[in-house]
A and B are shown apart, each in its own frame.
Chain A
Amino acid sequence: DQQVKQNSPSLSVQEGRISILNCDYTNSMFDYFLWYKKYPAEGPTFLISISSIKDKNEDGRFTVFLNKSAKHLSLHIVPSQPGDSAVYFCAASVEFSGGYNKLIFGAGTRLAVHP
């Protein structure tokens, strides 16, 4: 039962254009959503996050949009740069009664930005 889904395994975008990565989730109890970026042979690194009480968060070239009614979020990168080429993971956070949060990840989308 995949609670976080990234239905596009890959995306190819021209440098300077907008990249849009999508993510769907099923659990309405998720209270925080995060995007991680992963280069080959490295661990994922945090990129941007959004609380479930917001619908948009922006950080430089990166913007995350959250549509709670549709249980959908998206990451926009504009303008896209070749260095953005990586695998992007969507993750959702859920709080447990033991006083901690756990992240549930999607399968990832491989973004290729070409000149």
Chain B
Amino acid sequence: GAGVSQSPRYKVAKRGQDVALRCDPISGHVSLFWYQQALGQGPEFLTYFQNEAQLDKSGLPSDRFFAERPEGSVSTLKIQRTQQEDSAVYLCASSPGARTNEKLFFGSGTQLSVL
């Protein structure tokens, strides 16, 4: 595809369920970011991959959050034992190189609602 693709578009989970969110970055993009956007707020950094290496996971809120990008392309963000405070839009973004000074290309996000 031409852009960053995320699935599912919407996810409703019962508290305590595990969820997996998928991101297909633009082909060949080296950098991949996950952001969390709460209602009325800006995107907040969760984690960063450079190819398959997870170089920064300082933004992950707890050890219930786990991300991977095993082959340096598709990435999955997994949230275990979801809580209501995990409800947010999860955005994936990619860029061609390691330097993101110019711009990131964002997907449309996955809106997660935890009931």
Residues of A with Cβ closer than 8 Å to B?
4, 6, 9, 31-32, 34, 36, 41-46, 49, 51, 89, 91, 93, 95-96, 98-108
Contacts and interface: CB of A to CB of B under 8 A. Distances in A.
B100 A102 contact: yes
Interface residues of B, number: 28
Contacts, number: 73
B2 to A, nearest CB: 13
B72 interface: no
Interface of B: 4, 31, 33, 35, 40-45, 48, 50, 55-56, 91, 93, 98-109
B99 A101 contact: yes
Nearest to B93: A43
Contacts of A41: 108
Contacts of A89: 42-43
